[in-house]
Amino acid sequence: MVVVFGVLALGTGSIAVAPLDVIRTLLGNGSRITNFAVLDLRLPRVLIALAVGAALGMSGAVFQSLSRNPLGSPDIIGFNYGATTGGLLIILLFGGGTLAVSGGALAGGLVTALAVYLLAWQRGVRGSRLVLVGIGVSAILQAVNFYLIVNAQLADVARATVWLTGSLNNLGWTQFWPLAITLIALIPLLLAGARRLDMLEMGDDAAAALGVPVERSRVYLLVVGTAACAIATAAAGPIAFVSLTAPQLAKRLTRAAGAGILPAAWMGALLVLAADFVAQRIAGSSTLPVGVATAALGGAYLGWLLWRRR
């Protein structure tokens, strides 16, 4: 499915390219026009969509397993909002560029994760308490974000609003390479914690009995999970609901036990790519931000999940 949507996204647009010509161009046998349309214009956007979706999917898998709760994703428990606040501070107060916004988003996500962890601590951190504290922190951060926007200059607000929606518009190779390098460095760290994550899902007492240092492992997983969420937010803004839906959909398809970090990455990449493909074509001449499409999808999924829970 990822390959199918990738070929469709690379071949569809004002310059139409047939699927076979897309494949020939990717293999280095394209014409000047197809090289321009596929390699220069569309390929960076497709790769960024895949990388952002994979990062969000892995982050969601980590936090849902840590909290043992399908609602325990970064955009529900506040870490996504923390990254958003960090990026907004750089945009609205300092007028920083793309690299500075990325650093601000990463720092904001990590500081929020630390704050939620400390506030949730009570002779250890329980999953339900982590979710409840995270929801409260996310509400506070949403208020801070609205305050920053209301009191900002109009030009800065326009830039911040596009970033806040979650958009892949105007992103190219310059934005892809830092994202790809950071994600490649993070994936081994996430996979290294997967075994401990599977044991923590059985409960703290069972994990400790198996020799897992519970709190050290939880802090490690919080840091790498938050970093995955933050780099995705830094690259494309806060794309909603992907980290919530991707791990659960991957589990239902694979029916595999454990956190399922790699299946969640695959599903997240597919969701963002498909949502961006639909968003580019549903609004006619204008381009809809991908965050709008994922929010609609995520809202429907959340309603279905709550109905099933009843």
pLDDT tens-place string over residues 17-76: 888 888 888 888 878 888 888 888 889 999 999 999 999 999 999 988 887 777 777 877
Question: What's the pLDDT at 283?
Answer: 64
Question: What's the pLDDT at 309?
Answer: 64
**Residues whose CB is less than 8 angstroms from the CB of residue 219 and which lie 6 or more positions away in sequence, other chains included:** 117
For residue 170, what is the DSSP state? T
Whether residue 197 is predicted with pLDDT greater than 90 in this model: the reply is no
Question: Average pLDDT, stretch 255-260?
Answer: 76
Whether residue 127 is predicted with pLDDT greater than 70 in this model: the reply is no
Quote the crossing angle between the two packed helices 2-11 and 261-282, to the nearest 10°. 30
Is 200:65 a contact under the CB 8 Å cutoff?
Answer: yes
- What percent of the chain is modeled with pLDDT above 90? 13
Question: What's the pLDDT at 65?
Answer: 85
| pTM of the complete model | 0.87
Higher pLDDT, 274 or 129: 274
Is 197:149 a contact under the CB 8 Å cutoff?
Answer: no
Alpha-helical (H) ranges within 193-309 are: 194-200, 204-209, 214-236, 242-254, 261-282, 290-309
Question: Average pLDDT, stretch 112-131?
Answer: 76
Question: What's the pLDDT at 17?
Answer: 85
Average pLDDT score over the chain: 83
Whether residue 187 is predicted with pLDDT greater than 90 in this model: the reply is yes
Confidence band (pLDDT; 50, 70, 90) for 180? very high
Question: What's the pLDDT at 39?
Answer: 87
User: CB atoms < 10 A from the CB of 135, how many?
Assistant: 14
Question: What's the pLDDT at 183?
Answer: 92
Question: Average pLDDT, stretch 204-230?
Answer: 81
Question: What's the pLDDT at 284?
Answer: 58
Whether residue 297 is predicted with pLDDT greater than 80 in this model: the reply is no
